[in-house]
Amino acid sequence: MTAYILRRLVWTIFVVLTVVFITFAVFFLLPAGDPAVRFAGKTPSPENLKLIRARMGFDDPWPVQFWHYIKNFVTGDQYGWPGLGYDWVYNQPVLPEIKAAFPRTICLIIGAALIWVVVGVLIGVVSAVKRHTIWDRLAMGFALFGISAPVFWLGLMALWIFWFKWEQWFGWSVIGGTGYIPFSENPWEWGHHLLGPWVVLALLFAAFYARVTRSNLLEALGEDYIRTARAKGLSERNVIFRHGLRASLTPIVTQFGLDIALLVGGAVITETVFNLRGLGFQTVSAARNQDLPLVIGVVLLASGAVAIMNLVVDVAYAFLDPRVRYS
């Protein structure tokens, strides 16, 4: 297992470097504006532009700039490790920007993930156990609504009903509206403001997880070992949860790991609707402004998260399925 993990870590580093290299190359191959103009201000003189290009290395070929970027990333800078350079638009270091946005995105992902896993798996189990009943139809109706409804529409409806209208009707609101309040400032308002984004983001994933859990559990309950467990006199609860559900969780674990990692920079719609200004919001703004250092910083974080979560999922397989072994 240790050798397997070490090999995967080496492969993870290679994958992350490859992704960063491709992103770096794309920015230089596409027609982009001169980054020196952004550093120089509104009315730059030719002398200032020439000086900025020389100091920032913008005159070097892009492979040389990429090498310097990787070198600074490994050695760090005055703002800590990793050294991610300066924002081309606002002329400020990238690392503090990412550190400021990272807690917002992580809080959003963790809270939503807990909701969608618990709700999705429970609904899937109920739907599989109560197959062809009213509960099954209600569960699949919920799944169909969750998969079909656009996230931006759900967010706007949640704000309009449970924040704006609810406060008019009852004098208090179910969700806290838009914006982000740090946990250290006010834990209650932190959760109150994140409740809406949590539920909206979780609804889509919970619906998908419910369908996958139902399908996998129905398939598992038809296996020979399930009939053997029932013939031995095990209770239906033990048959379902200890044997059937455990065997059907492997694809759920795979999907869960990928969903968590991809949302590091991919929850942009939810972050925009609720004005959270997390990593997804930063990525879209940086790409729109052709701000390479900030884009690369988020790409590094997101690609590293995907690779690491893939490793965690592979290791978790050995605990969920005794047939899985690593050599």
User: What averages of pLDDT result for each successive group of 10 residues across the chain (327 residues)?
Assistant: 76 82 75 66 73 76 82 73 74 83 90 90 86 85 82 88 88 85 89 91 87 84 78 78 76 82 80 87 80 82 80 72 59
Which amino acid is present at 266? Answer: G
pLDDT, residue 234, reads 78
DSSP element (H, E) containing 58 = none
For residue 78, is it within any domain?
A: no
Give me the pLDDT at residue 111, please.
92
In a domain? residue 31: no
Contacts of 98 (CB under 8 A, 6+ apart): 84, 279, 282, 294, 297, 298, 301
Q: Is residue 188 part of a domain?
A: yes
- The packing angle between helices 292-320 and 2-29, to 10°, is 150
For residues 130 and 103, what is the distance between their CA atoms, to the nearest angstrom?
40
Whether residue 55 is contained in a domain is answered as no
In sequence order, what are the residues at sequence separation of 6 or more whose Cβ sits closer than 8 angstroms to the Cβ of residue 281? 101, 268, 271, 272
Q: What is the pLDDT of residue 198?
A: 92
Would you state the pLDDT for residue 34? 66
Domain range for 120: 95-320
Whole-angstrom distance, CA of residue 205 vs CA of residue 118? 11
CATH number where 283 lies: 1.10.3720.10
The number of domains in the chain is: 1
Say if 48 falls within a structural domain. no
Q: Is the dihedral of CA 90, 92, 94, 99 positive or negative?
A: negative
Residue 167 maps to a domain: yes
- Please answer whether residues 276 and 197 qualify as being in contact, where contact means their C-beta atoms are separated by less than 8 angstroms: yes
pLDDT number for residue 320: 64
What's the N-to-C CA distance of the chain in angstroms?
6
In a domain, 14, yes or no: no
Q: What is the pLDDT of residue 229?
A: 79
Q: Is residue 254 in a domain?
A: yes
